Amino acid sequence: MKVDLPEKLGFLLTSKKRYLGAKGGRGSAKSWSVAKALLILGTTRKLRILCAREVQKSIKQSVHKLLKDQIEALGLERFYQVLDTEIRGRNGTEFSFSGLSDQTADSIKSFEGVDIVWVEEAQSISRKSWKTLIPTIRKEGSQIFITFNPELETDETYERFITNAPEDCHIVDMNYTDNPWFPAVLEAERLHAKATLPTAEYENIWEGKCMPAVVGAIYFNEMSKAEEDRRICNVPYDPMLRVHVVFDLGWNDAMAISLVQRQSSELRVIEYIEDSHKTLDHYSAELKKKNFNWGKVWLPHDGRNKNIQTGKSAEETMQALGWDVSITPSMSVEDGIRVARMAFGRTYFDKTKAARLIQCLKRYRRSVNQQTNEPGAPLHDEWSHGADDFRYVCINADEMKNEEWGGTLAYPKLGNA
């Protein structure tokens, strides 16, 4: 059988490494090359092949159609039987299709005998899905094929297989320039995109470069500039400056906490904490362990609401624990976003200790009306807690003071260390 694969992807047919694949932009032939390679491998021996993605509500969202087209292109119609929800080979090879987000600890066990998993659009795969899938694919010699166009450097897939790639991994960059069959119709589309799209968006779509933030992010321009100015970097704690603690309260939803220092007009987010189902005394104890030169604790406007169980407000609780507490001024979300935009240019974020906050700011988006396609209020999702907390940081920024240094680490109402 004569097989046409881009030169850079020839290893898909021969490599025995655990993780194989390609990342890059549109028109690079990543997906159809993997489809073709898997179909060929499936003719050489009996294989169980799982084609997975994060969300698959129907077979139309899978690579089923792509595999069907490649079967026809390779002339393998007599070998493969294409059914509605699976593909079977005459030698017993099977292709099955599944979404990963709906899998449970019990249902994932059905994948244990799989020889090869192909994870398509892998940039969307969550940390939970990878942690569930990888240890399940445990058959001797089993492999995981990965194809994706990266979105953010902080995505789980990018960090897992590019930034911190395991030794047993071979993933190449593939773009339209590596596809010898790149069609004229896509070249026209690419040139139009290059002429009309913002540079970062074009480079992500066609050259597979990571975005500074997700398309449509509320703080897209601000995070782009922060990256450009290298204000997402190592931001060490300065014992000469007070550390102010800014809360966005939550229980079932996330509790978000930013630790901020201010030098003149400059804001430094030295650490960010996000958790749930923990009490204020827990967070207080964890903070005190850091032995920082503490400033104020800032609580949101609902910090004065009484807790039904305790009869105390968050303000009263934190004061009883020894903290100097202030309440964030009440302000509409939109006004707060405007304040945050103005503060971004003077803010530095610790790349490691505030990584989750950086993710939140890069992914904070508005809801979109499905009928009018018009943006609405900011989405309340897993990314909004950090964005809300940063908004509170910016609202309170001008009130964050540093008392004169006295030679010891002073703690509000906690004594000196």
Instruction: Give the count of domains, the chain.
Output: 2
pLDDT in tens, 320-357: 999 999 999 999 999 999 999 999 999 999 999 999 99
Q: Give yes or no: residues 179 and 239 share one domain.
A: no
Q: Give yes or no: residues 316 and 174 share one domain.
A: no
Domain-located, residue 195: no
pLDDT in tens, 47-56: 999 999 999 9
pLDDT, position 410: 41
Confidence at 1, pLDDT banded by 50, 70, 90 = low
Q: Give yes or no: residues 132 and 26 share one domain.
A: yes
Residue 320: in which H helix or E strand, if any?
helix 314-320
- For residue 336, the domain's CATH number is 3.30.420.280
pLDDT in tens, 15-53: 999 999 999 999 999 999 999 999 999 999 999 999 999
Residue 390 region, left (φ>0) first, then alpha (ψ -120 to 50), else beta? Answer: alpha
pLDDT, position 414: 39
281: domain range? 232-416
- Residue type, position 49, single letter: I
Report yes or no: 347 and 400 within 8 Å, Cβ to Cβ: no
What is the arithmetic mean of pLDDT over 381-403?
A: 94
Q: Of 121, 155, 184, which marks where a domain is finished?
A: 184
Q: Give yes or no: residues 247 and 359 share one domain.
A: yes
- pTM (predicted TM-score): 0.74
Domain-located, residue 279: yes
Q: How many CB atoms lie within 10 A of CB 128?
A: 13
Q: Give yes or no: residues 251 and 383 share one domain.
A: yes
Domain-located, residue 303: yes
pLDDT in tens, 294-327: 999 999 998 999 887 778 999 999 999 999 999 9
End-to-end C-alpha distance for the chain, whole angstroms: 76
Nearest to 159 by CA among 23, 48, 279: 23
Q: Position of tokens 């975005």? A: 211
What is the arithmetic mean of pLDDT over 179-201?
A: 95
Q: How many CB atoms lie within 10 A of CB 184?
A: 7
**Residue 22, C-beta contacts closer than 8 angstroms, at least 6 positions apart:** 8, 9, 28, 30, 33, 34, 146, 147, 171, 172, 173, 174
pLDDT, position 406: 36
Confidence at 2, pLDDT banded by 50, 70, 90 = low
Domain-located, residue 146: yes
Q: Give yes or no: residues 178 and 236 share one domain.
A: no
Distance from C-alpha of 183 to C-alpha of 181, rounded to nearest angstrom: 6
Domain-located, residue 55: yes
